[in-house]
Chains A and B, each alone.
Chain A
Protein backbone atom coordinates (compact mmCIF):
# COMPACT_ATOMS: atom_id res chain seq x y z
CA UNK A 1 0.00 0.00 0.00
CA UNK A 2 1.51 3.32 -1.01
CA UNK A 3 1.77 6.29 1.29
CA UNK A 4 -0.79 8.06 -0.89
CA UNK A 5 -3.24 5.20 -0.52
CA UNK A 6 -2.73 5.13 3.25
CA UNK A 7 -3.42 8.86 3.47
CA UNK A 8 -6.52 8.44 1.35
CA UNK A 9 -7.74 5.54 3.49
CA UNK A 10 -7.24 7.55 6.68
CA UNK A 11 -9.11 10.44 5.10
CA UNK A 12 -12.00 8.21 4.11
CA UNK A 13 -12.24 6.54 7.50
CA UNK A 14 -12.13 9.93 9.17
CA UNK A 15 -14.90 11.18 6.93
CA UNK A 16 -16.98 8.12 7.72
CA UNK A 17 -16.52 8.47 11.48
CA UNK A 18 -17.22 12.17 11.30
CA UNK A 19 -20.49 11.64 9.49
CA UNK A 20 -21.44 8.81 11.83
CA UNK A 21 -21.47 11.22 14.77
CA UNK A 22 -23.76 13.77 13.18
CA UNK A 23 -27.45 13.92 13.54
CA UNK A 24 -29.73 14.09 10.54
CA UNK A 25 -30.34 17.81 11.21
CA UNK A 26 -26.62 18.47 10.80
CA UNK A 27 -26.43 17.30 7.21
CA UNK A 28 -24.91 19.90 4.93
CA UNK A 29 -26.33 20.59 1.52
CA UNK A 30 -23.35 18.91 -0.09
CA UNK A 31 -23.96 15.69 1.80
CA UNK A 32 -27.71 15.65 1.38
CA UNK A 33 -29.07 12.81 -0.72
CA UNK A 34 -30.35 13.65 -4.17
CA UNK A 35 -33.76 12.12 -3.46
CA UNK A 36 -36.30 12.78 -0.75
CA UNK A 37 -35.82 10.60 2.31
CA UNK A 38 -38.69 10.11 4.77
CA UNK A 39 -38.21 11.98 8.03
CA UNK A 40 -36.44 9.92 10.62
CA UNK A 41 -35.68 7.10 8.18
CA UNK A 42 -32.15 7.09 6.90
CA UNK A 43 -29.64 4.34 6.36
CA UNK A 44 -26.38 4.86 4.62
CA UNK A 45 -23.79 2.46 3.32
CA UNK A 46 -20.25 3.66 2.75
CA UNK A 47 -17.84 1.69 0.69
CA UNK A 48 -14.24 2.27 -0.23
CA UNK A 49 -13.35 0.52 -3.43
CA UNK A 50 -10.38 0.19 -5.69
CA UNK A 51 -10.97 -0.22 -9.37
CA UNK A 52 -9.88 -3.38 -11.14
CA UNK A 53 -8.70 -3.18 -14.69
CA UNK A 54 -8.28 -6.87 -15.32
CA UNK A 55 -9.83 -8.25 -18.45
CA UNK A 56 -12.78 -10.57 -17.87
CA UNK A 57 -11.31 -13.21 -20.19
CA UNK A 58 -7.61 -13.60 -20.82
CA UNK A 59 -5.60 -16.09 -22.84
CA UNK A 60 -2.57 -17.25 -20.88
CA UNK A 61 -0.55 -19.55 -23.08
CA UNK A 62 -3.01 -22.25 -24.06
CA UNK A 63 -5.52 -21.52 -21.28
CA UNK A 64 -8.42 -19.08 -21.11
CA UNK A 65 -8.91 -17.71 -17.60
CA UNK A 66 -12.00 -15.87 -16.39
CA UNK A 67 -11.80 -12.99 -13.93
CA UNK A 68 -14.27 -10.81 -12.08
CA UNK A 69 -14.35 -7.17 -13.07
CA UNK A 70 -15.34 -4.40 -10.65
CA UNK A 71 -19.11 -3.87 -10.42
CA UNK A 72 -20.04 -6.73 -12.72
CA UNK A 73 -23.71 -7.54 -12.09
CA UNK A 74 -25.18 -10.84 -10.94
CA UNK A 75 -28.94 -11.41 -11.01
CA UNK A 76 -30.51 -13.30 -8.11
CA UNK A 77 -33.58 -15.46 -8.67
CA UNK A 78 -35.75 -17.31 -6.20
CA UNK A 79 -38.13 -19.85 -7.69
CA UNK A 80 -38.23 -18.07 -11.02
CA UNK A 81 -38.60 -14.54 -9.66
CA UNK A 82 -35.91 -11.87 -9.91
CA UNK A 83 -35.35 -10.66 -6.35
CA UNK A 84 -32.21 -8.58 -6.66
CA UNK A 85 -28.97 -7.67 -8.37
CA UNK A 86 -25.56 -8.09 -6.78
CA UNK A 87 -22.37 -6.26 -7.65
CA UNK A 88 -18.93 -7.82 -7.74
CA UNK A 89 -15.87 -6.57 -5.93
CA UNK A 90 -12.85 -8.58 -7.11
CA UNK A 91 -10.48 -10.04 -4.55
CA UNK A 92 -7.68 -7.81 -5.86
CA UNK A 93 -4.98 -10.42 -5.41
CA UNK A 94 -6.86 -13.26 -7.08
CA UNK A 95 -9.57 -11.84 -9.32
CA UNK A 96 -11.04 -15.25 -10.06
CA UNK A 97 -12.66 -14.61 -6.69
CA UNK A 98 -14.98 -11.76 -5.73
CA UNK A 99 -17.28 -10.55 -3.03
CA UNK A 100 -20.84 -10.07 -4.20
CA UNK A 101 -23.22 -7.82 -2.39
CA UNK A 102 -26.44 -5.95 -3.04
CA UNK A 103 -29.99 -5.37 -1.96
CA UNK A 104 -32.81 -7.85 -2.39
CA UNK A 105 -36.08 -6.26 -3.33
CA UNK A 106 -38.06 -9.29 -2.19
CA UNK A 107 -37.52 -11.05 1.11
CA UNK A 108 -40.50 -13.40 1.07
CA UNK A 109 -39.21 -16.95 0.86
CA UNK A 110 -35.61 -15.98 1.62
CA UNK A 111 -35.22 -18.32 4.57
CA UNK A 112 -32.75 -20.97 5.67
CA UNK A 113 -32.30 -23.74 3.08
CA UNK A 114 -33.85 -21.70 0.27
CA UNK A 115 -31.91 -22.17 -2.96
CA UNK A 116 -31.02 -19.04 -4.89
CA UNK A 117 -30.07 -19.09 -8.56
CA UNK A 118 -27.42 -16.57 -9.53
CA UNK A 119 -27.02 -15.60 -13.17
CA UNK A 120 -24.01 -13.77 -14.55
CA UNK A 121 -24.30 -11.13 -15.91
CA UNK A 122 -28.01 -11.17 -16.77
CA UNK A 123 -30.96 -13.49 -17.15
CA UNK A 124 -31.35 -13.43 -20.93
CA UNK A 125 -28.57 -14.76 -23.07
CA UNK A 126 -27.86 -14.22 -26.75
CA UNK A 127 -25.04 -15.62 -28.86
CA UNK A 128 -25.84 -14.04 -32.23
CA UNK A 129 -23.86 -11.32 -34.02
CA UNK A 130 -20.39 -11.98 -32.61
CA UNK A 131 -17.13 -10.25 -33.54
CA UNK A 132 -14.63 -13.10 -33.24
CA UNK A 133 -12.53 -11.81 -30.34
CA UNK A 134 -12.15 -12.72 -26.66
CA UNK A 135 -12.90 -9.12 -25.69
CA UNK A 136 -16.20 -9.25 -27.55
CA UNK A 137 -17.08 -12.53 -25.85
CA UNK A 138 -16.25 -11.08 -22.43
CA UNK A 139 -18.41 -8.05 -23.12
CA UNK A 140 -21.50 -9.76 -24.51
CA UNK A 141 -21.37 -13.55 -24.83
CA UNK A 142 -19.89 -14.90 -21.58
CA UNK A 143 -22.57 -16.34 -19.29
CA UNK A 144 -22.30 -18.29 -16.04
CA UNK A 145 -24.63 -19.76 -13.44
CA UNK A 146 -24.33 -20.62 -9.75
CA UNK A 147 -26.71 -21.77 -7.05
CA UNK A 148 -26.46 -20.80 -3.40
CA UNK A 149 -28.27 -22.16 -0.38
CA UNK A 150 -29.34 -19.70 2.29
CA UNK A 151 -27.65 -20.54 5.58
CA UNK A 152 -29.37 -17.98 7.77
CA UNK A 153 -31.07 -14.62 7.83
CA UNK A 154 -29.75 -12.54 10.70
CA UNK A 155 -31.58 -9.28 11.05
CA UNK A 156 -31.66 -8.03 7.52
CA UNK A 157 -28.56 -9.78 6.25
CA UNK A 158 -28.68 -13.02 4.32
CA UNK A 159 -25.76 -15.40 4.63
CA UNK A 160 -25.17 -18.25 2.22
CA UNK A 161 -23.51 -21.60 2.80
CA UNK A 162 -19.95 -22.25 1.75
CA UNK A 163 -18.20 -21.05 -1.34
CA UNK A 164 -19.98 -20.97 -4.65
CA UNK A 165 -18.52 -21.42 -8.10
CA UNK A 166 -19.99 -19.95 -11.24
CA UNK A 167 -20.07 -22.45 -14.11
CA UNK A 168 -19.70 -21.26 -17.70
CA UNK A 169 -22.71 -22.07 -19.84
CA UNK A 170 -20.98 -22.23 -23.21
CA UNK A 171 -17.65 -23.20 -24.67
CA UNK A 172 -15.23 -20.86 -26.36
CA UNK A 173 -14.14 -22.02 -29.82
CA UNK A 174 -11.06 -20.90 -31.68
CA UNK A 175 -11.25 -21.24 -35.45
CA UNK A 176 -8.56 -20.76 -38.05
CA UNK A 177 -9.14 -21.04 -41.79
CA UNK A 178 -6.84 -21.82 -44.70
CA UNK A 179 -7.13 -21.38 -48.45
CA UNK A 180 -4.59 -22.88 -50.79
CA UNK A 181 -2.45 -23.84 -47.81
CA UNK A 182 -2.26 -20.28 -46.47
CA UNK A 183 -4.03 -18.67 -43.51
CA UNK A 184 -7.27 -17.12 -44.62
CA UNK A 185 -9.22 -14.23 -43.10
CA UNK A 186 -12.92 -14.14 -43.93
CA UNK A 187 -14.95 -10.96 -44.16
CA UNK A 188 -17.62 -12.75 -42.15
CA UNK A 189 -18.79 -16.30 -41.53
CA UNK A 190 -21.93 -18.03 -40.37
CA UNK A 191 -21.80 -21.22 -38.36
CA UNK A 192 -24.53 -23.84 -38.38
CA UNK A 193 -24.56 -27.21 -36.64
CA UNK A 194 -25.77 -30.26 -38.48
CA UNK A 195 -27.32 -31.53 -35.26
CA UNK A 196 -29.48 -28.42 -35.03
CA UNK A 197 -28.71 -27.79 -31.35
CA UNK A 198 -26.68 -24.60 -31.65
CA UNK A 199 -28.31 -22.09 -29.28
CA UNK A 200 -28.94 -18.56 -30.52
CA UNK A 201 -30.65 -17.31 -27.38
CA UNK A 202 -32.50 -18.33 -24.26
CA UNK A 203 -33.54 -16.95 -20.93
CA UNK A 204 -34.19 -17.98 -17.37
CA UNK A 205 -37.59 -16.27 -17.20
CA UNK A 206 -38.77 -18.29 -20.18
CA UNK A 207 -37.72 -21.56 -18.58
CA UNK A 208 -34.52 -21.79 -20.59
CA UNK A 209 -36.47 -22.65 -23.73
CA UNK A 210 -33.70 -22.19 -26.29
CA UNK A 211 -33.94 -20.81 -29.80
CA UNK A 212 -31.67 -22.82 -32.08
CA UNK A 213 -30.10 -21.49 -35.27
CA UNK A 214 -27.04 -20.09 -36.98
CA UNK A 215 -24.42 -17.85 -35.41
CA UNK A 216 -22.86 -15.11 -37.53
CA UNK A 217 -19.40 -13.73 -36.85
CA UNK A 218 -18.36 -10.40 -38.36
CA UNK A 219 -14.81 -9.42 -37.38
CA UNK A 220 -14.05 -5.72 -37.18
CA UNK A 221 -10.68 -6.47 -38.75
CA UNK A 222 -8.49 -9.44 -39.56
CA UNK A 223 -6.58 -10.57 -36.43
CA UNK A 224 -2.82 -10.74 -36.67
CA UNK A 225 -2.76 -14.43 -35.77
CA UNK A 226 -5.67 -15.24 -38.14
CA UNK A 227 -7.60 -16.89 -35.27
CA UNK A 228 -11.23 -16.20 -34.42
CA UNK A 229 -12.85 -16.74 -31.00
CA UNK A 230 -16.53 -17.61 -30.87
CA UNK A 231 -18.80 -18.36 -27.91
CA UNK A 232 -21.01 -21.33 -28.77
CA UNK A 233 -23.50 -23.35 -26.76
CA UNK A 234 -24.08 -26.55 -28.71
CA UNK A 235 -26.52 -28.72 -26.77
CA UNK A 236 -25.91 -31.78 -28.92
CA UNK A 237 -24.50 -34.72 -26.98
CA UNK A 238 -23.67 -36.70 -30.11
CA UNK A 239 -20.91 -36.13 -32.63
CA UNK A 240 -21.71 -33.12 -34.78
CA UNK A 241 -20.51 -31.18 -37.77
CA UNK A 242 -20.08 -27.44 -38.01
CA UNK A 243 -20.79 -25.94 -41.42
CA UNK A 244 -19.31 -22.57 -42.28
CA UNK A 245 -20.70 -20.23 -44.89
CA UNK A 246 -17.99 -17.69 -45.48
CA UNK A 247 -17.89 -14.34 -47.22
CA UNK A 248 -14.38 -13.78 -48.45
CA UNK A 249 -12.55 -10.50 -48.61
CA UNK A 250 -13.30 -10.66 -52.34
CA UNK A 251 -17.03 -10.90 -51.50
CA UNK A 252 -17.06 -14.39 -52.99
CA UNK A 253 -18.89 -17.19 -51.22
CA UNK A 254 -16.91 -20.00 -49.64
CA UNK A 255 -17.79 -23.05 -47.57
CA UNK A 256 -16.02 -25.17 -44.99
CA UNK A 257 -16.92 -27.98 -42.61
CA UNK A 258 -15.44 -29.31 -39.39
CA UNK A 259 -16.61 -32.35 -37.45
CA UNK A 260 -16.49 -32.51 -33.67
CA UNK A 261 -16.51 -35.60 -31.49
CA UNK A 262 -19.21 -36.27 -28.89
CA UNK A 263 -16.80 -36.09 -25.96
CA UNK A 264 -16.13 -32.42 -26.72
CA UNK A 265 -19.82 -31.53 -26.58
CA UNK A 266 -21.22 -33.26 -23.51
CA UNK A 267 -20.17 -30.48 -21.18
CA UNK A 268 -20.00 -26.70 -21.56
CA UNK A 269 -17.18 -24.47 -20.39
CA UNK A 270 -14.38 -25.78 -22.61
CA UNK A 271 -11.79 -24.07 -24.76
CA UNK A 272 -11.98 -25.86 -28.10
CA UNK A 273 -9.72 -25.15 -31.03
CA UNK A 274 -9.81 -26.10 -34.71
CA UNK A 275 -7.32 -24.49 -37.01
CA UNK A 276 -6.39 -25.24 -40.56
CA UNK A 277 -10.03 -25.49 -41.66
CA UNK A 278 -9.85 -25.44 -45.45
CA UNK A 279 -12.29 -23.19 -47.25
CA UNK A 280 -13.45 -23.85 -50.78
CA UNK A 281 -15.82 -22.32 -53.27
CA UNK A 282 -19.06 -24.10 -54.16
CA UNK A 283 -19.22 -26.19 -57.31
CA UNK A 284 -21.64 -23.78 -58.94
CA UNK A 285 -20.82 -20.27 -60.12
CA UNK A 286 -23.06 -17.23 -60.53
CA UNK A 287 -25.09 -17.02 -63.71
CA UNK A 288 -23.65 -14.68 -66.30
CA UNK A 289 -25.47 -11.44 -66.87
CA UNK A 290 -27.94 -11.24 -69.73
CA UNK A 291 -30.98 -13.16 -70.81
CA UNK A 292 -31.21 -16.81 -69.89
CA UNK A 293 -33.26 -18.77 -72.40
CA UNK A 294 -35.19 -21.76 -71.15
CA UNK A 295 -34.80 -25.05 -72.98
CA UNK A 296 -37.47 -25.66 -75.57
CA UNK A 297 -39.00 -28.66 -73.80
CA UNK A 298 -39.77 -26.55 -70.70
CA UNK A 299 -42.15 -24.11 -72.40
Chain B
Protein backbone atom coordinates (compact mmCIF):
# COMPACT_ATOMS: atom_id res chain seq x y z
CA UNK B 1 0.00 0.00 0.00
CA UNK B 2 1.31 3.42 -0.81
CA UNK B 3 0.03 6.87 -0.04
CA UNK B 4 1.76 9.97 -1.32
CA UNK B 5 1.80 13.54 -0.30
CA UNK B 6 4.11 16.44 -0.87
CA UNK B 7 4.88 19.30 1.46
CA UNK B 8 7.53 21.82 0.63
CA UNK B 9 9.34 23.82 3.27
CA UNK B 10 11.24 26.83 2.10
CA UNK B 11 14.01 27.94 4.41
CA UNK B 12 13.75 31.68 5.08
CA UNK B 13 16.12 33.73 2.94
CA UNK B 14 17.90 30.64 1.63
CA UNK B 15 17.74 31.03 -2.10
CA UNK B 16 17.02 27.87 -4.04
CA UNK B 17 17.24 25.64 -0.96
CA UNK B 18 14.11 23.75 -0.13
CA UNK B 19 13.09 20.81 1.96
CA UNK B 20 10.71 18.40 0.36
CA UNK B 21 8.48 15.86 1.96
CA UNK B 22 7.87 13.62 -0.98
CA UNK B 23 6.66 10.19 -0.09
CA UNK B 24 4.62 8.61 2.63
CA UNK B 25 4.55 4.88 2.23
CA UNK B 26 3.03 2.17 4.35
CA UNK B 27 5.34 -0.80 4.67
CA UNK B 28 4.31 -4.34 5.44
CA UNK B 29 5.62 -4.24 9.00
CA UNK B 30 3.38 -1.36 10.04
CA UNK B 31 6.15 0.53 11.75
CA UNK B 32 6.25 4.29 11.69
CA UNK B 33 9.54 5.44 10.27
CA UNK B 34 10.97 8.80 9.43
CA UNK B 35 14.11 8.96 7.41
CA UNK B 36 16.16 11.17 5.18
CA UNK B 37 16.56 10.57 1.49
CA UNK B 38 17.09 6.94 0.53
CA UNK B 39 15.74 3.60 1.55
CA UNK B 40 12.20 4.20 0.37
CA UNK B 41 10.24 1.02 -0.23
CA UNK B 42 10.34 -0.08 -3.86
CA UNK B 43 12.67 2.72 -4.72
CA UNK B 44 15.00 2.65 -7.65
CA UNK B 45 17.97 4.70 -6.65
CA UNK B 46 21.11 5.64 -8.47
CA UNK B 47 22.63 7.33 -5.47
CA UNK B 48 25.83 5.37 -5.94
CA UNK B 49 25.80 5.99 -9.67
CA UNK B 50 25.51 9.14 -11.68
CA UNK B 51 23.80 8.86 -15.00
CA UNK B 52 25.33 10.56 -18.00
CA UNK B 53 23.70 12.37 -20.87
CA UNK B 54 25.60 12.48 -24.09
CA UNK B 55 25.58 15.72 -26.04
CA UNK B 56 25.27 16.01 -29.79
CA UNK B 57 28.95 16.59 -30.31
CA UNK B 58 30.73 18.93 -32.66
CA UNK B 59 29.12 20.19 -35.80
CA UNK B 60 29.42 18.17 -38.99
CA UNK B 61 28.71 20.01 -42.23
CA UNK B 62 26.88 18.26 -45.01
Contacts and interface: CB of A to CB of B under 8 A. Distances in A.
Q: Do A and B come from one complex?
A: yes
Given A9-B17, A44-B34, A158-B44, A96 B39 contact: no
A150 to B, nearest CB: 9
Size category of the binding interface on chain B: 35 or more
Contacts of A43: 23-27, 33-35, 40-41
B26 A156 contact: no
User: In terms of DSSP, what is the predominant structure of the interface of chain B?
Assistant: strand
User: In terms of DSSP, what is the predominant structure of the interface of chain A?
Assistant: strand
A274 to B, nearest CB: 5
Given A37-B3, A41-B1, A160-B49, A270 B57 contact: yes
A48 B21 contact: no
Nearest to A260: B62
Interface in B5-61: 5-7, 9, 11, 13-27, 30-61
14 contacts: A40-B32, A43-B25, A46-B19, A47-B36, A48-B18, A98-B53, A99-B50, A101-B47, A103-B40, A163-B50, A165-B51, A165-B52, A260-B62, A272-B59
Interface of A: 4-5, 7-9, 11-12, 15-16, 19-20, 22-24, 31, 33-38, 40-51, 57, 62-68, 76, 84, 86, 88, 91, 96-105, 107, 116, 120, 144, 146, 155-160, 162-168, 171-172, 174, 258, 260-261, 264, 269-274
